[in-house]
Amino acid sequence: MLHVIFACVHNAGRSQMAAALFNALCDPNTARASSAGTAPAERVHPAVVTAMQEIGIDVTDRRPTRLTSELAATADLLVTMGCGEECPVVPGVRRQDWPLPDPAGQPAEAVRQIRNQIASLVRQLLKAENVLPRSGR
């Protein structure tokens, strides 16, 4: 089973959207995603919650989590989004960087655009990793 960790600074926007989209699109018997941040916020950005609800994905119960070297070591792939040098480098864990803008403080339309960029990147990742799609998606 492929385990992907999506990481950003606050784990309140980009990484939360990416993990939720990944898990919504893939067959849970073949892959799973989680998310974390180097400096976790108190909660997921309300605009992110709304943008995800618009596409039928509920992230209201998600809580930002700290990205540690130990957590990163559980992944097969670490996808970073703006945490730069703060994200740990773990031997044996592949790493990609997606340079995406932070949705914090952005208007709803900008958050939707970021969400859509992330959805496109997640679909590309699923295809590149040969991950089976979830039935009906």
Mean pLDDT of the chain: 94
Q: What's the average model confidence in pLDDT over 55-72?
A: 95
21, HSE (Cβ side, Cα atoms, 13 Å): 26
Predicted TM-score (pTM) of this structure: 0.95
Q: Is the pLDDT of residue 87 over 80?
A: no
* Distance from C-alpha of 29 to C-alpha of 119, rounded to nearest angstrom: 20
Domains of the chain: 2-128 (3.40.50.2300)
Q: Is the pLDDT of residue 50 over 90?
A: yes
Instruction: State the burial class of residue 130 (Cβ atoms within 10 Å of its Cβ: 0-12, 13-18, 19+).
Output: exposed
Q: What's the average model confidence in pLDDT over 52-73?
A: 95
Report residue 1's pLDDT band, with 50, 70 and 90 as the boundaries: very high
* Distance from C-alpha of 95 to C-alpha of 80, rounded to nearest angstrom: 7
Q: Is the pLDDT of residue 97 over 80?
A: yes
- pLDDT single digits (tens) 2-29: 999 999 999 999 999 999 999 999 999 9
> Which percentage of the chain shows pLDDT scores above 70?
99
* Distance from C-alpha of 87 to C-alpha of 104, rounded to nearest angstrom: 19
